[in-house]
Amino acid sequence: MKLIILDRDGVINYDSEHYIKSPAEWLPIPGSLEALAKLTQAGWTIAIATNQSGIARGLYTHEILADIHTKMQTLVVAAGGKIDSIFYCPHHPDEHCHCRKPQPGLLEQIAAHYAVSLAGIPFIGDRWTDVETALAVGCSPILVETSLIKAQIPVTEQKIPVFTNLLQAVNGLVKPHW
Amino acid sequence: MLKQDLLFEIGCEELPPKNLKRLAETLAYNIQQALQKAELNFSALQCFATPRRLAVYIKELASVQPERMIERRGPALAAAFDKEGHPTPACQGFAKSCGVEVDELIKQETEKGAWLAFRQIQKGQNVHELMPELLQHAVMALPIAKPMRWGSSEVQFVRPVHWVVLLYGNEVIPAAILGQSTGRISYGHRFLHPEALKLDTPADYLPSLRQAYVEPDFAKRRELIREQLLTLAKQCEAQVIIDENLLNEVTSIVEWPTALLCNFAAKFLTLPKEAIITALQSHQKCFMLANQQDELLPHFITVSNLISRDVAQVIQGNERVVKARLSDADFFYQTDSQQPLEAYFTQLKQVVFQEKLGSLFHKAERLARLCTSLAEPLQLNKDLAKQAGMLAKTDLMTQMVGEFPELQGIMGYYYAKQQGQPIELANALQEQYLPRFSGDVLPESSLGCALALADRLDSLAGMFAVGEIPTGDKDPFGLRRAAVGLVRILIEKQLPLDLMVLLTQALANYQTYPNLNLKPNLTEQLQGFVLERLRAWYLEQGIATDTVQAVFAKQITIPYDIHLRIQAVQTFRVLPEAAALAAANKRVSNLLSKQQNQTNFILNEALLQEPAEYELFKHLQATQQQVEPLSARAQYGQAMQLLAGLGKVVDEFFDKVMIMVEDEPVKQNRLALLNHLRQLFLQVADISLLQ
């Protein structure tokens, strides 16, 4: 099985400092639906790992998040792709849970769900915390530049691949260099 | 002042019938505007139009323009003369610009001081001087798509011009218009009265022409035809099918109408009704007859342009032509019927829909896919939906549609029905083209809606993918119309489908096309285009701009949902509380937008101090309980009603409670309370945008 893990906000859809509180606010970044379709058609299983502290902040409920994800999945399917599973952390940063990225909890849940090793599994995120999370569990981090906040890459970690957006990143994966 | 009638007539070769009426009306309008601008008074203006002439009759036209007082203000008196009383350069300059000496200028006293001024009475020009140029301009301003040139002259007009009459009273106003010298000679009917008609005065126009077998009045001629049609129909106890467009067209091709009743062989009545009507109406300009049950009869009425000496021969001639037409149609129909619609797939593959978008067969495959995905939300049988998509364009390959393109869809219906396809499918093939124009009916069946949606979605996606995006007036593929059709079906059929999903599906169909380079933001672009048409559609229907803005601010992509919200806002805004609540929302929105941290408003009940703020809090809580389930079920009207009930406590709050207080936690708490209020209204629309 070819598994790939993606962050959601700032990778698939536009992130917002006001949080994505309703389906209407969930707007795909141009090309991202197409990218997910390409991945699916190339045989990848797509899992999502996303921090959703908006729930703990009382900005939206689990049900509304489910509606948002229904919209996302509907659009992805319409474009010819499929998201296999979504793992999210509903906690507030102050709760110091194990699942909020950069803690590895979400990725470990995914590993358990698919019963696979995380070693070498691509993880596409938009923030440096995503890279840290990936490195902590042995995933191969990939950064996209569609973030709200530009990821600060430490000088020592210059070999992390960076793409302008998800579509570019996926083009790299679907057509490997030879 | 002298007033006389004026007649202006342009005689030419047979004018294009489809534009005739508009051409004459525009000419009259242009002249009327020009006369008003020139301040030439008249009591009435009438236009005439026949296939060979455009004319305008102006009743009681003043012979001269009224005198006009021209007044110009110059420099202030103080600045016009120096201390010794000599005119300054400013004064001299002004006088020079008016073409007079300084002592001819006058003083003008106003409240603000005295000025030097120039006043002159300009004598009016007379009709003889004014009309030639005025008419020339009115003629030049006619909307003529393809002007003609004739002979060796440089003059251009819609058709070659043979004579121009320009009479004012009993005098000709000499001029050269459209390459002809104006005169008083007109001509009668081309065959019944080809001789010249000398007109002494404009009043001679109507009687002379009528004697010369021309009815120049368009409306009168049309009613004359209608009368003749009804009389003939009555004679054979039938009703005549009068299509007003056809009646106008026939009126535009005859000067002296004579309706004649003709027959065709009853065996042709086995042809589809629409095929007979198309063959006879749009191709032969004939009127059809039907019995009381709306079934066609083997008769038709042709309107001839003259009284024939041998009527029988005219009838025979018409019947011969019609028989040939119907025999052709019959042959095509029989040939087409011999093979199933699926058999046309091979031909569909050979017809290019668009260079980069493949053949019509590719289009059919895309339609089939879109219809399949529409099957679930529209509660359709998946296989049938797919079949409808595959067969949608097959009738375009039939001989019948090749001969009569107007029958697209209609023939699909007949052939599908004949071949035992389910009736839903046959209906859908016909309904896929609805709505054809603004205000047209929508498909009745769900399958018809699915196919109509699919066809429009595919065209929009495909044309945007190849970059054929409408700009300005240019919309060669009718994409604006397609977009309006799309949203109208979604709204009026109450289909809560998401445009973003539909357009993504439509574009996904093109993902694998080798010659297409799909831009990543195409879905957004398309969605913006369709929503922009929806916005324009609302404005055309007289929905207030701010209502539309309040709802569109929510950035919703489900047209039906948008529609429900628009209705809710419309009913809300007539409520007595509406204006105050809109103002309150605007105030809150302004207050909140100035705050740095807009997401972390946390409402703390313990920090509520004033009774009015506690009251608002309580009401907000209670209303939220009721509004949330309503808005989740899209019952926005009821939600807005409940929200309007907050009017009093909101007023009270703003009256009694100071928001920006020194105590930071209390201030933050009040802002949080207001944010709560705003979020509650935002469930339906951003009413802060209401004016």
Contacts for A23 with CB less than 8 Å, ≥ 6 apart: A64, A67, A68, A70, A71
- The segment(s) of chain B belonging to CATH 1.10.3210 are 342-520
Q: Are B582 and B553 in contact (CB under 8 A)?
A: no
Which residues 502-561 in chain B show a CB within 8 A of chain A? Answer: 502, 504-505, 507-508, 511, 518-524, 554-557
**Nearest CB to A79 within list B508, B521, B602:** B508
Residue A176 has pLDDT above 60, yes or no: no
* pLDDT tens digit sequence for A57-91: 888 999 999 999 999 999 999 999 999 999 999 99
Percent share of chain B, pLDDT over 90: 74
What is the value of pTM for the model shown? Answer: 0.79
Name the percent of chain A lying above pLDDT 70.
95
Is residue A178 pLDDT above 60, yes or no? no
According to the model, what pLDDT value does residue B638 have? 94
Does residue B449 carry a pLDDT above 70? yes
Q: Residues B345-364: what's their mean pLDDT?
A: 93
How close, in Å, is residue A174 to chain B by CA atoms?
15
Distance between CA atoms of residues B656 and B302, nearest Å: 82
Would residue A9 show up in a list of annotated catalytic residues for this protein? yes
% of chain B beyond a pLDDT of 70: 99
What is the second-level CATH architecture of the domain B562-689? Answer: Orthogonal Bundle (1.10)
Q: What is the pLDDT of chain B when averaged over all its residues?
A: 92
Put simply, whether B682 touches A (Cβ < 8 Å) is: no
| CATH classification (class only), B342-520 | mainly alpha
Residue B597 above 70 pLDDT?
no
Angle between helices B499-508 and B522-540 (to 10 degrees): 130
Q: How confident is the model at residue A149 (pLDDT cuts 50, 70, 90)?
A: confident
Q: Does pLDDT of B27 surpass 70?
A: yes
| Residue A126: active-site member | no
Residue contact B504–A33, C-beta within 8 A? yes
- The CA-atom distances, in angstroms, between A100 and each of A4, A72, A89, B624 are 19, 21, 6, 31
Q: What is the mean pLDDT of residues A117-141?
A: 92
Model confidence at B598: pLDDT above 70: no
Report the range of poorest mean pLDDT among B469-473, B504-508, B584-588.
B469-473
- Helical ranges in B392-445 per DSSP H: 399-403, 410-418, 423-431
In words, the CATH class of domain B3-65+126-211 is alpha beta
Instruction: State the Cα–Cα distance between residues B300 and B277, nearest whole angstrom.
Output: 10
Q: What is the pLDDT of residue A177?
A: 44
Q: Pick the range with the lowest mean pLDDT from B164-168, B184-188, B569-573, B603-607.
A: B603-607
What CATH number has the domain bearing residue A83?
Answer: 3.40.50.1000
pLDDT digits (tens, 9 = 90+) for B646-691: 989 999 999 999 888 888 889 889 988 998 899 899 999 999 999 8
The tokens for A117 are 């090793």
Among A77-81, A95-99, A156-160, B538-542, name the one with the lowest average pLDDT. A156-160
Which regions of chain B carry the CATH code 3.30.70? 3-65+126-211
Interface of A with B (CB under 8 A): 17-19, 24-25, 27-28, 30-31, 33-34, 37, 57-59, 71, 74-75, 78-80, 165, 167
Is pLDDT above 80 for B163?
yes
Phi and psi angles of residue B498, each rounded to the nearest 5 degrees, phi first: -90, 120
The whole-number pLDDT of residue B87 equals 84
Q: In total, how many domains does chain A have?
A: 1
Host domain of residue A162: 2-174
The mean pLDDT value for B345-361 works out to 93
